Amino acid sequence: MALVVIGGHSRNVGKTSVVTGLIAALPQYHWTAFKITQYGHGICLRNGESCHCATDDHSWAISEENDRSGESDTSRFLVAGAVRAWWVRTEQGRLAEAMPTIRGKLAASENVILESNSILKFVRPDLYLTVLDPATADFKRSAQEFLDLADAVILHGPRDNDNNDVVWSGVSLKPVAGRPVFHIRPPEYVTTEVVNFVRDRLPGGPNHRVH
């Protein structure tokens, strides 16, 4: 099974667009796609609304996407060609509680592409790509924590941009120094170079590495 993780330094930097682009470009992998969302306390993960539950029963939830309207991120996974799509919601810091169920669904999948940073605490993917957008100042702690695990960077900006010139306050990009950098210009989030890089490093590819 191939396992690809797509992360990013903040919301709305194109993570879902990268996932859908790879699903569409590599249909032969029959992807099962996951999106993991972590919320603050006080949100009922069963219905996404404010909650004052007296128990921990609603600290995480997983649901399968069946809508193909393309209106939600997981629906976009299906529209792109995913065989199945799952949305995982957990409270901040409680992803571990959902992992036994997630692992069961991973084991039942042919190949998996997963949108998350924090999942890297629990799995060793064949490939981890991180999406960075210099126009977005926020840099999530989870993205910083796993930056050194990135196999490549997908960077918003001109192709002649040098990623060493990209600066976030209090964040060093030294962990990805020397890693491949793929420059993108939305609405194109997945270039031919990105697709070839991913294909070459998946199981069976010439540059696949065994972890």
Average pLDDT for the chain = 88
Query: What are 168's two structure tokens?
Result: 């976030």
Q: Average pLDDT, stretch 112-126?
A: 97
How far is the C-alpha of 160 from the C-alpha of 139, rounded, in Å? 23
Query: What are 194's two structure tokens?
Result: 């990105």
Q: Is the dihedral of CA 163, 165, 168, 170 positive or negative?
A: positive
Residue 109 scores a pLDDT above 90: yes
First to last CA, the chain: 13
Q: What is the pLDDT of residue 51?
A: 41
Q: Average pLDDT, stretch 145-160?
A: 87
Strand order through the sheet with 181-184: 60-64, 84-91, 31-39, 111-115, 3-8, 127-132, 152-156, 181-184
Share of residues in the chain with pLDDT > 90 (%): 74
Residue 129 scores a pLDDT above 90: yes
CATH of the structural domain 3-201, one choice from 3.40.50, 3.30.160, 1.10.3470, 3.40.1350: 3.40.50
